Amino acid sequence: MNKTLLSVAIAVTSCAAAADYDSLEYIGKPATKHTIEANSALDKTLPWHDTSAFERSERGLIAAFGEHSAAELRNSRGYLEVDDIRRDRPETVNPSIWRQGAMNYASGGLYEVTDGIYQIRGADLSNMTIYRSDNGYIIHDPLITREAASAAWDFAKQHLPAINGEHKVTGIIYSHTHPDHYGGVRGLFEDGQLPEGVDVFAPKDFMEELLSEGLLAGNAMGRRAQYQYGNTLPDSAYGVVDNALGMGMSKGEITLIPPTVIIEDREETITIDGLEMLFINMPGAEAPTEMINYVPAYNSLNTAELTYDGQHNIYTFRGAQTRDSLAWTKYLSEIKLRFADKVDNIHAAHSAPVWNNPGTDENEIAEYLTMQRDNYGFIHNQTLRLANQGVKINDIGRAVEQIVPDSQQQTWASRGYHGSYSHNARGVINLYLGYHDMNPTNINPLTNVERSCLYVQTAGTDTVYKQAQHHFNQGAYQEASTLLNDIVNCDPSDTKARELLADSWEQQGYQSETMAWRNSYLQGASELRTNHIPEALKAVSSDIMSQMTTAGFLDFMAVSVDASKVPADMAFNFNIIHPEINEVHYVEFSNANLAPLQVEKAISDVDLTLSIERADLIAIITGQASLEQLIKEKKVNVNGDISVINKLKSVSVHFSQNFEIVPIIK
């Protein structure tokens, strides 16, 4: 339960460092006067008078992490002392994201949402929600890692009453397919195994979407996530200070117990150990598949990740399909109309709950849902209005930024901590119209290196560098980095340009309100200065790989084929049969392409048929066995030419995450 990011950032002192390509340590430089002025100017425009998020974060604290009592924790942190938050802000951090970090840091322990509903907040990026049932507790979204979930549940058990003499897990709910909502599940049980009689509930198409989103482009997604989340940057005023949805991500093993009950219908009422829940599927918005749940006995609604104290991603830097912001707004309208006047609170996977105030005319839940809905609706509708008036994809972000209404700018939960108006607007236009701006020059564009070299060779390196230095000195860091990026793309060994490009990205990071922007700028600066690509975290663990379908594995094999290695005459076909479940897959290889398809029965005219139980295929996929070993053990029945498998291996690649995003000196 490491919650050090903000405290470390407060303690860090300024230090300057020149580029050192023999060192793998990233050391940030101080903020320039232009960055200090820009951040100070923004500070004066923010709604500091609104401390409601801090009040909600403190409400219901049962036990804080560490040795402090709840009262001592509040007094020592002084969350509501906004002047302290503003005064403690390092010059290298945008004031709005610093305040978001302080708000996320405000949660640290076990909280009561209402009698019977509890949350562990601040132990991981997401919240673990705990519902009391007849004979124990139902766990909703068990964090990212086994280690974090185990520690969080152990902490909760110290402070929640035993039921029938024990703290028994009576059910598990996954709201959606992102790892911070299922990855810690095995940590809830001492042996990591689901006890008999305990069900895991998940929305429709959960396993299919989980594997689809994280597998086929998973290698690239993992590398890109380094930039979005900055998970290899230091936790400091020169690195990560907040992760928008929460303080940070736990480290450890991402696990998965497959769902035992799928909510197939749009709405289903399920009773889990005596506690009735209404599940409602709301797919295609924040996640490809997702569900909310209403608990009548506690008059509470869990909105999953459809709401949180900030603007979410419509397009996410790490990758994944662009979300449907129109569907998102309609879901929020539905939630408002059906539940805002009915429930006592809404609680979610991130941030603190929102409560209504009995005995007053105020409906805090309705106001909160209205602003969240209108935030995404504004981005969707204004982006398409501007697109219909001819604004292009690379201009749409700035155009939308210029017309954001004051009501949204003055609401903390609408500000761009996870998503931003700029990159979300570009996501919307790409969803509807695609990447092409219709300028004929861009129909078949030059490569990045070709384009950069064209500009640099036309103007001359010295001229481009001098102009970049001029812009940097004026505080025009984006203009400087645009020019310097061309020099470095064309000649990665130009250390002078690399240093100034790193400096310009760094200052833009210091000024960024959006977590992904800050982290991306600083990660890029780090790789320029160190000339090193750090090892990325892998979200697809062996536990998740073991749940892969054969169809999914074959689709992944198709992506792994390197067409440049394929001989012109290479062609073959084969069957894979799982006899114990009567499942057959047919695969053709032709024209440098692998084409798998699940079929009713084996195709007769093939080069090879492999009969292998699915569990043994999974053992091969996860590296616990080899095909040759299983053949020797007679666990695989081979009929035909086994060499076609070696042919496939010979043209397949093993993906590595050490590919360049910024140029590396070879």
Q: Which of 313, 338, 127 is nearest to 224 (CA)?
A: 313
At a CB cut-off of 8 Å and minimum separation 6, what does 458 contact? none
Strands 61-64 and 109-114, bridge-based pairing: antiparallel
Please tell me the predicted confidence (pLDDT) of residue 101: 93
Phi and psi angles of residue 662, each rounded to the nearest 5 degrees, phi first = -105, 155
Task: Report the alpha-carbon distance of residue 600 to residue 593 in Å, rounded.
Answer: 22
Rounded-to-10 torsion of CA 332, 338, 343, 349: -30
Q: What is the DSSP letter of 571?
A: -
Task: Please give the CATH number for the structural domain made up of 446-511.
Answer: 1.25.40.880
Rounded-to-10 torsion of CA 225, 227, 231, 232: 130
User: Buried b vs exposed e over 224-254: b needs ≥16 C-beta within 10 Å?
Assistant: bbbbbbbbbbbbbbbbbbbbbbbbbbbebbb
Task: Report the alpha-carbon distance of residue 213 to residue 220 in Å, rounded.
Answer: 12
Task: Report the alpha-carbon distance of residue 178 to residue 214 in Å, rounded.
Answer: 9
Determine contact, residues 647/570, Cβ cutoff 8 Å.
Answer: yes
**What CATH architecture is 5-369?**
4-Layer Sandwich (3.60)
> Going along 328-458, which residue ranges are E strands?
345-347, 354-355
Please tell me the predicted confidence (pLDDT) of residue 72: 46
The counts of H helices and E strands in the chain are 24, 19
Q: Which of 610, 614, 506, 612 is nearest to 550 (CA)?
A: 614
Task: Report the alpha-carbon distance of residue 590 to residue 2 in Å, rounded.
Answer: 52
Q: Rounded to the nearest 5 degrees, what angle is found at the Cα of 241, between the Cα atoms of 240 and 242? A: 100
Task: Report the alpha-carbon distance of residue 532 to residue 419 in Å, rounded.
Answer: 28
Please tell me the predicted confidence (pLDDT) of residue 7: 39
Task: Please give the CATH number for the structural domain made up of 547-650.
Answer: 3.30.1050.10
Reported pTM: 0.93
Please tell me the predicted confidence (pLDDT) of residue 70: 45
Same fold, 5-369 and 547-650: no
Please tell me the predicted confidence (pLDDT) of residue 67: 59
Please tell me the predicted confidence (pLDDT) of residue 8: 33
Residue spans of the chain under pLDDT 70: 1-25, 67-80, 359, 538-540
Between the alpha carbon of residue 352 and those of residues 58, 76, 109, 140, 404, the distances in Å are 8, 20, 12, 15, 26
Alpha helix (H) residue ranges in 200-320: 206-215, 218-229
Which class for 605: exposed (0-12), middle (13-18), buried (19 or more C-beta within 10 A)? exposed
- Amino acid of residue 326: L
> Going along 273-330, which residue ranges are E strands?
275-281, 291-295, 300-302
Q: Rounded to the nearest 5 degrees, what angle is found at the Cα of 25, between the Cα atoms of 24 and 28? A: 135
Rounded-to-10 torsion of CA 279, 365, 332, 515: -100
Please tell me the predicted confidence (pLDDT) of residue 201: 98
Task: Report the alpha-carbon distance of residue 114 to residue 106 in Å, rounded.
Answer: 19
Task: Report the alpha-carbon distance of residue 310 to residue 10 in Å, rounded.
Answer: 22
Rounded-to-10 torsion of CA 589, 595, 601, 607: 10
User: Buried b vs exposed e over 380-389: b needs ≥16 C-beta within 10 Å?
Assistant: bebbbebbee
Domain ranges of the chain: 5-369, 446-511, 547-650
CA 252 to chain centre: 16
